[in-house]
Amino acid sequence: MRHILSILLENESGALSRVAGLFSARGYNIESLTVAPTEDPSLSRMTLVTSGSDEVIEQIMKQVNKLIDVVKLVLLTESDHIERELMLVKTQARGEAREEVKRLADIFRARIIDVDAGTYTVEVTGTGQKLDAFLEAVGAANVIEVVRTGLSGIGRGDNALRV
């Protein structure tokens, strides 16, 4: 099962490598990982997407929690939450594609943020599935370059992860 971990960790040099090192050393997989400072500059927020059986996920939670730099963590996928990912796509924009990609961008509520004679650069936000669907709709032949941020997530309602 796919799961999303939200982790608050000390904003110390090396903290990221402790988490990443733990995953590789213990053979856990990382589908995506994003990290950036929070409103409190002493803390970083990491969102990590992984997968595994319930037992494996439980071990992952315990092992991550055991890292001295980790202040708090939750399994976002355990309760109501919102997932978002940002993607920048450079596409072909000649001939039919010029109209078609624009039309798709509208349907997906994406934005074309850069244009030249032969290409568009499109910004798409949404769940991972939505981004996948956009790429599929545009078609591999039209896609030149893809940059994805990896997933970010947050709990719904007053469900907050803070110190």
Binding site for another protein (CB under 8 A): 9-10, 13-14, 17-18, 21, 25, 55, 58-59, 62-63, 65-66, 68-71, 163
Structural tokens at position 161: 């992860």
Give the nearest distance from C-beta 10 to another protein in angstroms: 6
What does the alpha-carbon distance between residue 71 and residue 43 come to, in Å, rounded to a whole number?
9
Nearer to another protein, 62 or 141 (CB): 62
Asked whether 85 and 126 are in contact (CB, 8 A), the reply is yes
Residues with Cβ within 8 Å of 54's Cβ and at least 6 positions away in sequence, in order, are 1
Residues in the chain: 163
Number of H helices, E strands in the chain: 4, 9
What does the alpha-carbon distance between residue 111 and residue 131 come to, in Å, rounded to a whole number?
13
What does the alpha-carbon distance between residue 36 and residue 16 come to, in Å, rounded to a whole number?
10
Nearer to another protein, 29 or 129 (CB): 29
Give the nearest distance from C-beta 41 to another protein in angstroms: 15
Structural tokens at position 85: 């990912």
Nearer to another protein, 75 or 112 (CB): 75
Q: Is 158 helix (H, G, I), strand (E, B) or coil?
A: coil
Give the nearest distance from C-beta 80 to another protein in angstroms: 26
Asked whether 161 and 74 are in contact (CB, 8 A), the reply is yes
